[in-house]
Amino acid sequence: MKDEIFSIIKKEERRQRTELVLIPSENYASAAVMKAVGSVLMNKYSEGQVGRRYYQGNANIDDVERTCKERALRLFGLDGGEWSVNVQALSGSPANLAVLVALVEPGQRIFSMFLPDGGHLSHGWHLPDRPVSFASKIWDVVFYHVDRKTRVFDYDRIGKDAATVTPRIIISGGTAYPREIDHRRMGEIAKAVGAWYLADIAHEAGLVSAGVNTSPFSYADVVTMTTHKTLRGPRGAMIFSRKDLSAKIDAAVFPGIQGGPHEHTIAGIAVALREASGGTFRKYAAQVVANAKVMAEELSNAGFDVVTGGTDKHLVLVDLRSRKLDGWTGAWGLESAGIIVNRNTVPYDTASSFYPSGIRLGTPAVTTRGMKEREMRRVVSWIQDVLSHVSNLKLPKQPSDRAPFLQMLSKDSFLSRIKREVSTFANRFPVPGIDRPKNL
Ligand SMILES: Cc1ncc(COP(=O)(O)O)c(C=O)c1O
């Protein structure tokens, strides 16, 4: 009998094909990437580094991992005499943890971007009265903030605060920050206070590799990134470090916090890195940003409060408070119409992260399907229709109203009609990993 998991996977294929995926951290990996990840490499244990394994039978694995590392350095234009890369971290959060384990003694201070201002949990997120991330239990984490009015960073202010905080490491990394981070300034600030500078470009990796966003490599000591967002590979991560730090980083990944690396994922990353090295990918990355800019502009023109007034990259953050909605009602309304976004906190949000005030939209996945500016205008017009419609419904006032509200959305004929339109529209654009070329 066939395992029911495969029928669930079929349903998920259908969902990914018929809905509009606007989550900025998601993308569609190619059929070749998926083939590498689903390969026999998953059967192998390979603790250790290339050429220095604790298990026998690793000649082919060494070739895979060596190729991946070479491609990674080449893609970002790095000299192997100055930079090293570790491709074994299982994902972005363990990659960041490994850097902290390698470079910061327990109890020392970290200076990182405040989560509601667009930072990430793995940079040591904690509440005033209790730790949340594991990092915040081990290290003393202090946050820097965006300006209340402009909602962008004031680097003079960060510099002054860093001099008072005297951290061991400064971390940047925008999960929901729509503007480019000034890596030159951040690097200078870190240097001035004797701290390491870790640039986490999890979101922008593909844009940086394509030269569409600014590279942090001239200014940072360590650069981490995920491989599954704009870089369009499998779920994974890479840690680039200046040569003198690499032995510590490798040891922090294994045996510090991990066991056997996932070589099937590393093979998938290697395939994605090759794909990202061509002119087609550079055009793709430029289109991702062009699409996001149109999306931001159209939303602004429609009267939405677009945080910072626009975007420099692949994501747009919208504060829904002026529309009398919150992120939860907005995101569920859109999902009922086949449009998938994140609910997200916005700078100086007073709401909780589960019921935040905004939504976060991104263009990497729809751009992979071949959508351009014209399609973004169509998508924004649906978003506008859906959110206007939802704001006229009976919105939940208390927690017990939420389940009936979702029921009401599922029966709403206006939203069902848009969902059908969205599905017909989305079906016109192939999904690379699903609509596989015949020769794979
Ligand atoms: C800036 C940043 N760093 C790290 C991560 C963590 O990546 P992962 O979910 O792979 O652990 C993310 C994920 O969205 C991120 O946005």
Domain ranges of the chain: 31-276, 279-427
DSSP 132: -
Q: Is 204 in the pocket of ligand 1 (CB under 6 A)?
A: no
Q: Is 416 in the pocket of ligand 1 (CB under 6 A)?
A: no
Q: Is 115 annotated as a binding residue?
A: yes
DSSP 325: -
- The angle formed by the CA atoms of residues 407, 413 and 416, to the nearest 5 degrees, is 85
Tell the residue nearest (CA) to atom 4 of ligand 1. Answer: 92
Q: Which atom of ligand 1 is nearest to the CA of 201?
A: 1
Indicate the residue type of 247. Answer: A
Q: Per the structure block, which two tokens stand in for 278? A: 């061509």
Q: Is 203 in the pocket of ligand 1 (CB under 6 A)?
A: yes
Tell the residue nearest (CA) to atom 7 of ligand 1. Answer: 92
- Predicted local confidence at residue 433, as pLDDT: 85
Tell the residue nearest (CA) to atom 5 of ligand 1. Answer: 92
Name which of 218, 230, 252 is nearest 97 in CA terms: 252
List the beta strands (DSSP E) in 63-190: 83-86, 109-113, 140-144, 169-172
Q: Is 29 helix (H, G, I), strand (E, B) or coil?
A: coil
Domains 31-276 and 279-427 share a fold: no
| Substitution site in 93, 177, 313 for ligand 1 pocket (most atoms within 8 Å of beta carbon) | 93
Q: Per the structure block, which two tokens stand in for 308? A: 């910072």
Q: Is 119 annotated as a binding residue?
A: yes
For the question of residue 235 being annotated catalytic, the response is yes
What is the residue whose two structure tokens read 């895979």? 64
Name which of 289, 115, 270, 100 is nearest 207 in CA terms: 289
How close is the Cα of 203 to the center of ligand 1, in Å?
Answer: 8
Q: Is 352 annotated as a binding residue?
A: yes
- Predicted local confidence at residue 220, as pLDDT: 98
- Predicted local confidence at residue 378, as pLDDT: 98
How close is the Cα of 25 to the center of ligand 1, in Å?
Answer: 8
Q: Is 214 in the pocket of ligand 1 (CB under 6 A)?
A: no
Q: Is 91 in the pocket of ligand 1 (CB under 6 A)?
A: yes
Task: Output the tens digit of pLDDT for each of the chain's 440 residues.
Answer: 689 999 999 999 999 999 999 999 999 999 999 999 999 999 999 999 999 999 999 999 999 999 999 999 999 999 999 999 999 999 999 999 999 999 999 999 999 999 999 899 999 999 999 999 999 999 999 999 999 999 999 999 999 999 999 999 999 998 999 999 999 999 999 999 999 999 999 999 999 999 999 999 999 999 999 999 999 999 999 999 999 999 999 999 999 999 999 999 999 999 999 999 999 999 999 999 999 999 999 999 999 999 999 999 999 999 999 998 999 999 999 999 999 999 999 999 999 889 999 999 999 999 999 999 999 999 999 999 999 999 999 999 999 999 999 999 999 999 999 999 999 999 999 999 887 666 66
- Predicted local confidence at residue 435, as pLDDT: 79
Q: Is 224 in the pocket of ligand 1 (CB under 6 A)?
A: no
Q: Is 433 annotated as a binding residue?
A: no
- Predicted local confidence at residue 437, as pLDDT: 64
Q: What would be the CATH architecture of the domain defined by 279-427? A: Alpha-Beta Complex (3.90)
Q: Which atom of ligand 1 is nearest to the CA of 96?
A: 4
Q: Is 121 annotated as a binding residue?
A: yes
226, 227, 308, 311: which is the annotated catalytic residue? 226
Q: Is 120 in the pocket of ligand 1 (CB under 6 A)?
A: yes
Q: Per the structure block, which two tokens stand in for 357? A: 């005030």
- Predicted local confidence at residue 439, as pLDDT: 65
How close is the Cα of 93 to the center of ligand 1, in Å?
Answer: 6
Q: Per the structure block, which two tokens stand in for 153? A: 């960073």
Tell the residue nearest (CA) to atom 6 of ligand 1. Answer: 92
Return the H-helix or E-strand segment holding 359. Answer: strand 358-362
φ/ψ of 419, rounded to 5, equals -60, -40
How close is the Cα of 382 to the center of ligand 1, in Å?
Answer: 29
CATH number for the domain formed by residue range(s) 31-276: 3.40.640.10
35, 45, 348, 377: which is the annotated catalytic residue? 45
Q: Is 124 in the pocket of ligand 1 (CB under 6 A)?
A: no
10 Å CB burial of residue 173 (0-12, 13-18, 19+) is buried
